[in-house]
Structure formats: structure tokens, C-alpha cells
Structure 1
Amino acid sequence: MTSRHILVCLPPHTAEAAHPLATRVLCAVEEADDDDTTSYQISEGRYASHFPLVAGAPADDPRLVRSASGEPGRCAGGVLRLLDLAALRDQHAAKAADLYDTWAHATEGMPPARPWAAFAEQWGSDSPRALLAFRDQPRLKALAEIKGRTGPRQRDDDEAALISLDRAGFIDRARRRAVPGHILLELDGTWTADPAGLNSDDAAETGSTAYYEHANAYIDALPADFLVVGVDCRR
């Protein structure tokens, strides 16, 4: 089963609204997605703690979607004025910096790694052989050890990015990807997706970069009383 993180944008929610916020979110997603095999989770999905809250945000605010079992001070989404997007971006940037520095130290003196594009061009981007050959390089083996992920697994986008980007570029990439999910559902029902999730992007992540830049600009331009809520979409 594939899991995708959808960010749903909605106009303001009031206490007098006919339905709870979570119900409004699910109705918006189901109206935009006509795939009957898809299931959706909000307060108990894997993204239930995606957003950090600003200091002093009331726990019982009806404009927030929070999980009883989620992390304190975090939520699946809600009114923008209570979501700390700057902190979320800083957190992802800090994690990326730590990963890059740890990896750079562990791989010091190792031969340079060939980029993912070289293997994708030789065997095809969907070829298991290409992925195995790419990961058989010393610098990629070191990354797997650092992440504790040495067994069979799908391609990790960080793998290709670490090889192709410098430290500043890798950190900027993480900051850009911090807030948006894999899919953005805009106010008018427009459904925009990261092409990497559809295996239709190039090795340079051209399409993904354009998607995340658009999603960030769209979310940042919304009024503070509008809502952005994450949904775990599984199919």
C-alpha cells in the first residue's frame, strides 16, 4: 500500500460551521479524488503530527486537527495563524545539515560516487539493477549505515540528492520540502502533485523542485485565517 501526504487548503472555519473541520477536510478530498480504492486518515494517520504549533496555541481550538496520541505541540493542520511554518522549515533544515555533516565525515577519503542519473540512463530508472548498482558504491553504503536502512527498500530521494548537491543545496532542498505534502489540494479544487511520486520526474528533480516552490508560494500567500490540513492518503 502506498501512502501519500495531501495538504488540503480550505477557507476559514467557524464554531458555527455545519460540520467539524475533519469532516470538511475529508469531504474536500473525496470530492476531488474519484478513486474508490483510496482511504484517508487525518487525526490518526502517519502525518498527524506534521505541523508544529505556535507557542500558546489552545489545545481545544476547533480550527485545529489534533490526535490524542500525537506529539504534544503538534497537529495534522488547521488555521494558518496557529501553525509554525517557520519552525517546521528550520527543523527540516537542521536535520538535513546534521545528515550531510555526518555523511561527509563518514565518507571522507572515499572515491566520488557516480550520480543516480548515470545508472538510470544505463538501465532505466525503474530497474532494480540500476538501484542495486547505485547503492553498491562506498558512499551510498555509508549513508545506509548512518540511516540504519541496509536491507531491501525503495529508492530514497536523499540518496541521489546527497551525491548531486553541495551542503547548502541539500539544506535548501530540505527546507523547501518541509511544509508541503506530496499533493496539494488548492481552494478551487486544483490537484497538484509531486511528479516524483508518479515516477515521472527527471534525475535532477526538476519537476519536484517546481512543485515544492509552487506549493510553498501558494500556502504562504493564503490569509492567516485560512486552513491547511494534512491527510494520509493510502491506496
Structure 2
Amino acid sequence: MNNRKLIVALLEFVSYHIFPISFLFTHHLNNYSINFYLIVMVAMVAFYKEYVRTLKPNFYFNGLYTVCFFILALISYRTLNINVIILVFVQLVFLYLTKNISKKYHILETLIDDFIIPSFTSIAIAYTYAHFISVNFIVPLLLINIAAVLIIYFEGAISDFIQLITLAGLTLILFLLNYISLITAITIVIFVLASTLLKEFKHISASNLVYRLIGNILLLI
């Protein structure tokens, strides 16, 4: 069981990097050196999210974990942008806060886990190596992460179909505004449609992590 959690944490870590790194290479922005401090910080987020949190750590453990992060931040301040450090740390704080979210507001925890943390961690990675953030990077990333959340919550209700149609419409609008390419737009729509149809008619579904991994890989096309 613990080995499985570690593998999931590793996949979570990888999922944060797939689109940022591929974006850098496809736009010839790969003239950079790997920042190992950032790797450790992002790993701390993924490890806490998928492994540590399942062990229900107490306040003191979270405090120790935070101290370790701050020590790493102090060591890395010369090589990492302070905004990136803050952005990654905020994701860790969000994870701390999720334990206090009641089941009544489970959707909020889902948005934090499956949308906010993956999106902004990937943005931090991209900014570190590219030294700027492009709308052409952010938009496909956010669309894929939103799509993954919608797929998870899809149950075949009319409201679910309306949400999917809205997502498709938003994708079309973003294409017309030249924020995403035609291939990206078609890829996102096909991905969402195929995933929801498999879930509805074949009862084949996966975790949000799997959908995000597939979605990010499809963006490489």
C-alpha cells in the first residue's frame, strides 16, 4: 500500500512537469540548467499531497515540514525567484488547509487538489525556466485541468452535459482568439468526449491524476 502511494506521488510529481518542459522545448526555450531546489520543493508538494496527507499528519509534523521548506527556500533564494518560492509554498499551505474542509464543501477540496495545485505548480516550473509566463502556456494547462475535474464529476446528468458543452464552447472561443491552436482545441474536445463516453456507457473511469497525465501528454501533439 505504501509503495503504491509512493508511485502515485511520483506520478503526481511527473504530471506537474510534462507540459511545462514540453512547452519550453517546443518553443525553443530550453536554454536553461535544471534547478534542483525547485525539484525538491515540487517533490515536497507532491509527496505531501499523495503520501504524507494520507497518514493524517498533526500540527507539529506540518510545522516541521514547513521549517524544512523554509530552510530549502533560504538556501535557494539566490537561484530561485522569490515569487516562485512563495507560489510553491502556497500550494503546500493549501494542502495543510484541506484537512479542515468539511465533507459538505468537498468540491472545494477537489478544486484545490485537482485544479489549483497542479495548475500553479506547473506555472511555477515554467516561470523558473522560461523567466516569463505566456497566455499560450496557461490557457491549455488550465483547460486540461478543468476538463479533468469535469470528467471526474461527470455522472450523465443534464447539468453535466451542459458543463461539457460550455467547456467545448470556451475551447472554441479561445481558438478563435488565437490563444490555443486548432490542434490543441480539437485534442481537448476529443479527450473530454472520449473520457466521458467511456465513463457513461462502458463504466470505464480513472483518477484525476490519470486524466491529467493523459491530457498533458495529449497537449504534446
Give the TM-score, by structure 1 length. Answer: 0.29
The structure carrying a bigger strand percent of its residues is: 1
The structure carrying a bigger helix percent of its residues is: 2
Give the TM-score, by structure 2 length. Answer: 0.30
Higher relative contact order (CA 8 A, sep 6+): 1
